[in-house]
Every structure is written in structure tokens, then in C-alpha cells.
Amino acid sequence: MTGSCLFTYCNSNVYGGGLFLTIQGLGAIIITGELEFDQCETLYYGGGIHSSLESGGKLTISGSSSFTDCKTLEISSGGGGAIYALIIGENSLLTLEDQIMFLKCLGYQGGGLLLPINNNGSFTMTGNCSFTDCNSTLLGGGCVISASIANYDIQLLGSMRFDGCNSLKSGGGLYIQSKYAGQITINEMSFSNCNSTQYGGGIYSQLYFGVQITIIGKVTFDNCNCLEGYGGGQFVYVYGSDSKINITGEL
């Protein structure tokens, strides 16, 4: 898919307010050019895009993409106000390249982006990704990454910026929950004016049983707050002797 594509005031009663994708069995979709979602909404998952990548399915989004005022409406389940992407199975891969912007998006989990990654799934981000004034009613005002079952690979190699994002529970900007042996690489992240109520005004990280996080670039926090709990900038919970955070850059 190339060129320009605009989704305005689109909605769905269940999943994928603007676009619904299922990619399986080594299938691949590449979206390039300008992609814009404005005020799209759904009840449960993916106000702008709902995608399921299974059994080797691949989705690449490159060029310039923006999501403005996209939301999920259910306040007690669902999430991914702009994008929900389920990535499951060996060789299943979501790739975000170039520039993607989330502005004033809202969801129960992941105001902008919700990524469940399971069973050898992979996620790679190489461009610039910004979350501005995004909110969640539970976890991850900007983004939630939830990885489980061993051998997932998450490569955040570009730049992620979180400005003015809020969560009513944990992870004002970013919420990461990872279980079992897998790799998460972080390059550059910045958190400014992000808030949570309970844990992690900027980032909340929960690592179990062999997760390896490596920070290779620079992570900064400016005026981030946890209003009632712990970790104004960052809250980290690590369980199991094999789980590690390696910092070769700056934090």
C-alpha cells in the first residue's frame, strides 16, 4: 500500500475503528507513504488499527503516520487507543519505520499503542515515535508492551518520546511487562511531564524469569511524577536471578 490514506471519524462496534488486519502464514503487508487517522474509535481494541500477526505474518508501517484523538471506548477492558497489534508465533514481526505520531489518544491499556507479543514474536522500531498527551484509564498512558513465552525479540532502536502522557494506575508514559527468556533493546527514550497514580510516572517495568533489557542509548526524565505510589520517573520490578537490565548507554 503506497501513497496517502486518510481515515476520519471512522468507528467500529468491536475492533479496529479505522482498519482491521489479519496476517497469517508468512503473509506480509507493507504500508508506505502518508497514513492519517483522525478521531477514529472502537469499543475494545485498536481505535485506529487492529492487527493480528500470526504464524509468520509481517506488517511494516513506514513513511509518515499520525493518529489524532483516536480511542477505545470501553473503560474496563481492551486498549490500544490508536494501534493494537497482536504478534504471536515464530517469524511474526511488526516493524515501525520513519515517523509515527500519537496525539491525544486514549485507551484502557496503552493510550496510543498496545502490543501483546507471544511465542517468538518480534517487534522492531527504527524511526521516530512520539506520544503527546495520550492517556490510559489503567496502564501505559502512551504505550504498553506485554511479552510472554520465551524467545520474543523487541528492538526499540529509534527514538521514542513521551510528552504529557498519563495513566490512572501505572506507567504514565510506557508500561512494559515481560516474562521468560527474551530480549528487549532500548536506544533513545525521553519522558517529559508524564504522570501515573500508583507506580512509574515515566516508565513501569515488570520483568520475570530471564528477561534481558539492554539500554544502548540515552533515557531521560523531566518533571515526571507518581502521585500516590513509587517511582516518579521509573519503577522497576525484577523477579528471578536470570532477569537483568544492562546499561551501556545513559540513564
Report, as an integer, the average pLDDT of 159-180. 96
Q: What cell was used for 134?
A: 495520550
Q: So what's the pLDDT on residue 180?
A: 81
Q: So what's the pLDDT on residue 132?
A: 98
Q: Is 104 exposed, middle or buried (0-12, 13-18, 19+ CB in 10 A)?
A: buried
Report the candidate in 142, 214, 202 with the shortest Cα–Cα distance to residue 178: 214
Q: Is the pLDDT of residue 244 over 90?
A: no
Q: Is the pLDDT of residue 168 over 90?
A: yes
Does pTM surpass 0.75?
yes
CA distance 58 to 87: 9
What pLDDT band is residue 71 in, cutting at 50, 70 and 90?
Answer: very high
What pLDDT band is residue 119 in, cutting at 50, 70 and 90?
Answer: confident
Report, as an integer, the average pLDDT of 118-139. 96
Report the candidate in 121, 149, 144, 146 with the shortest Cα–Cα distance to residue 131: 144
What pLDDT band is residue 149 in, cutting at 50, 70 and 90?
Answer: confident
Q: So what's the pLDDT on residue 84?
A: 98
Q: Is the pLDDT of residue 164 over 90?
A: yes
Report the candidate in 68, 70, 61, 69 with the shortest Cα–Cα distance to residue 34: 61
- Residue 56 CB neighbours (<10 A): 17
Residue 125 backbone phi and psi in degrees, to 5: -125, 120
What's the chain's average pLDDT?
A: 94
Q: So what's the pLDDT on residue 247?
A: 85
